[in-house]
Amino acid sequence: MEDTELIVQEATEEAERAEDSRALYEVKMKFLGRAGKVTALLKSMREIAAEARPAFGKKVNALREALEEKFAALEEKLRKEELERKLAGEEVDVTMPGRRHREGALHPVTRVKNRLIDLFSGMGFEVFEGPEIESEYYNFTALNTPADHPARDMQDTFYLTDRILLRTQTSAGQIRVMEKKKPPIKILSPGRVFRSDDDATHSPMFHQMEGLVVDRGITLCDLQGMLDEFARTMFSASSKTRLRPSYFPFTEPSVEVDVSCAACGGKGCPLCKGTGWIEVLGAGMVNRRVLENCGVDPDEYSGFAFGMGIERIAMLKYGINNIKLLTENDVRFLEQFKD
Ligand code: PHE
């Protein structure tokens, strides 16, 4: 019988030492669980003399109830403390400034490329993409530039093998298209090109946009009409174009196309070196020999082609003075282009 007093004392002490509800639960099991001390007392009833049993039973039950109450009270206290601690840890300071999300921006080369595709697809052009690794045939020979032709030196070429190279111009795609498709042809061919060339305005890898139109009765006027539209969309509503005689083996006649300087409106400034004009692309009427090389009859069909450097257009449009800025991908630079 003294045991019960001792058990209450022992259980109370241990329970009060419990630091959290988990530890308290363990103490509770030690006394009230199936293998607990109080449970053992109840089980020992059978060994007690029959007349002593009711008194013993009463005492043990009272002990169990007292302990259960004790544990319940302690448990509530601990759970409350735990909840408070948890809430304190999760407290949100609604006066703190929010996290800033930096807005991304498209790369200027992507912007110009998208604008060009938009513009020319509105005039009925389809996009064709040729391979970056080309054969000498598509990049030069079929474009009327045989091996001993001096124009091969105009473009410093990266050769992979004797006959395989990194294309120096998207013009290679002209041949691939004309070999497969009968006129009328109206394609736009964007892509990377490679030349062993490296300074503030030249990069060994850059992007070009090629255009090719072949049909009956195509003239240089059709070319200039489209280029005027291009200049007005890309630079300013009052932009004009000017054609200057030039030379490319795959066009005849060949022209260099200038756009009136958007910075000074054509009056002359440092950007246009005082001339009022800025050279933006090469173009011309597709050379008869190129048409013949692709099985297109030059007496029935004629065409024009143009090719422009996308980086160059982007630099002129956005006033970027060093081509290297376009490959560094510094977000502080890229973020500036939002329209
Ligand atoms: N392929 C020429 C270049 O890279 C540009 C061009 C394309 C010229 C089409 C005329 C016709 O310089």
Could you tell me the pTM of the whole model? 0.71
Average pLDDT, the chain: 91
Which residue has its alpha carbon closest to ligand 1 atom 9? 306
Q: Based on the fold, state whether residues 116 and 265 are members of the same structural domain.
A: yes
Domain contains 190: yes
Tell me which residues have their CB closer than 6 angstroms to ligand 1: 169, 171, 210, 248, 251, 282-284, 305-307
Note the pLDDT of residue 43: 84
> Can you tell me whether residue 75 is helix, strand or coil?
helix
Instruction: Quote the domain boundaries for residue 74.
Output: 2-89
Q: What is the torsion angle, in degrees rounded to the nearest 10, for the CA atoms of residue 232, residue 237, residue 242 and residue 248?
A: -20
Q: Based on the fold, state whether residues 262 and 320 are members of the same structural domain.
A: yes
| Interval between CA 85 and ligand 1 midpoint (Å) | 73
Give the number of C-alpha atoms closer than 13 A to the C-alpha of residue 102, restricted to the C-beta side. 7
Across 49-58, 77-86, 171-180, 313-322, which has the greatest mean pLDDT? 171-180
| Interval between CA 302 and ligand 1 midpoint (Å) | 17
Residues 6+ apart with CB under 8 A from 72: none
Sign of CA dihedral 312, 317, 323, 324: negative
DSSP run (H or E) holding 171: none
Which residue has its alpha carbon closest to ligand 1 atom 6? 307
**277 within 8 A of 260, measured Cβ to Cβ:** yes
Q: Which of 157, 171, 207, 226, when mutated, tests ligand 1's pocket best, judged by the most ligand atoms within 8 Å of its CB? A: 171
What share of the chain in percent tops pLDDT 90? 60
Note the pLDDT of residue 93: 87
| Interval between CA 72 and ligand 1 midpoint (Å) | 89
Domain contains 200: yes
Residue 32 burial by Cβ neighbours in a 10 Å radius (0-12, 13-18, 19+): middle
Q: Which of 155, 165, 169, when mutated, tests ligand 1's pocket best, judged by the most ligand atoms within 8 Å of its CB? A: 169
Q: Based on the fold, state whether residues 197 and 298 are members of the same structural domain.
A: yes
| Interval between CA 208 and ligand 1 midpoint (Å) | 9
| Interval between CA 58 and ligand 1 midpoint (Å) | 108
Q: How many CB atoms lie within 10 A of CB 238?
A: 11
Q: How far is CA 93 from CA 86, 88, 97, in A?
A: 15, 11, 9
State yes or no: pLDDT of 222 exceeds 90. yes
Note the pLDDT of residue 200: 80
| Interval between CA 136 and ligand 1 midpoint (Å) | 16
Q: What tens digit of pLDDT does each residue of 279-300 get? A: 999 999 999 999 999 999 999 9
Q: Based on the fold, state whether residues 248 and 285 are members of the same structural domain.
A: yes
**308 within 8 A of 258, measured Cβ to Cβ:** no
Q: How far is CA 117 from CA 33, 184, 235, 277, 296, in A?
A: 78, 19, 15, 24, 26
Q: Which of 165, 248, 251, when mutated, tests ligand 1's pocket best, judged by the most ligand atoms within 8 Å of its CB? A: 248
Q: Which of 91-105, 128-142, 180-194, 269-283 has the lowest mean pLDDT?
A: 91-105
Q: Which amino acid is at 155?
A: Q
Q: Based on the fold, state whether residues 75 and 203 are members of the same structural domain.
A: no
Note the pLDDT of residue 154: 66
Q: Based on the fold, state whether residues 82 and 121 are members of the same structural domain.
A: no
Enumerate the β-bridge partners of residue 244: 256
Domain contains 224: yes
Q: Based on the fold, state whether residues 314 and 199 are members of the same structural domain.
A: yes
Nearest residue to 304 via CA among 233, 230, 235: 230
Atom of ligand 1 nearest to the CA of 208: 4
Across 34-48, 125-139, 143-157, which has the greatest mean pLDDT? 125-139
Q: How far apart are CA 144 and CA 137, in angstroms?
A: 10
Q: Based on the fold, state whether residues 153 and 231 are members of the same structural domain.
A: yes
Q: Based on the fold, state whether residues 152 and 227 are members of the same structural domain.
A: yes
Atom of ligand 1 nearest to the CA of 170: 1
Nearest residue to 310 via CA among 211, 237, 240, 243: 211
Nearest residue to 31 via CA among 42, 22, 47: 42
CA end-to-end distance (rounded Å), the chain = 91
Q: Which of 3-7, 49-53, 96-100 has the lowest mean pLDDT?
A: 3-7
Atom of ligand 1 nearest to the CA of 254: 10
Domain contains 100: no
Atom of ligand 1 nearest to the CA of 306: 9
Q: Which of 48-62, 84-98, 168-182 has the lowest mean pLDDT?
A: 48-62
Q: Based on the fold, state whether residues 187 and 318 are members of the same structural domain.
A: yes
Q: Does 72 or 209 have the greater pLDDT score?
A: 209
Helix ranges, the chain (H): 2-17, 21-32, 37-43, 53-89, 108-121, 136-139, 172-180, 220-234, 288-293, 310-318, 325-328, 331-334
Q: Which of 20-24, 93-97, 102-106, 239-243 has the lowest mean pLDDT?
A: 102-106
Note the pLDDT of residue 244: 97
| Interval between CA 269 and ligand 1 midpoint (Å) | 27
Note the pLDDT of residue 2: 61
Domains of the chain: total: 2
Q: Based on the fold, state whether residues 133 and 255 are members of the same structural domain.
A: yes
Q: Based on the fold, state whether residues 84 and 117 are members of the same structural domain.
A: no
State yes or no: pLDDT of 234 exceeds 80. yes
Note the pLDDT of residue 171: 97
Q: Does 331 or 137 have the greater pLDDT score?
A: 137
Where does the pLDDT of residue 10 fall: very low under 50, low under 70, confident under 90, or very high at 90 and above?
Answer: confident
Q: How far apart are CA 118 and CA 112, in angstroms?
A: 10
CATH number at residue 206: 3.30.930.10
Q: What tens digit of pLDDT does each residue of 140-195 get? A: 999 999 888 877 776 789 999 989 999 999 999 999 999 999 999 999 999 999 99
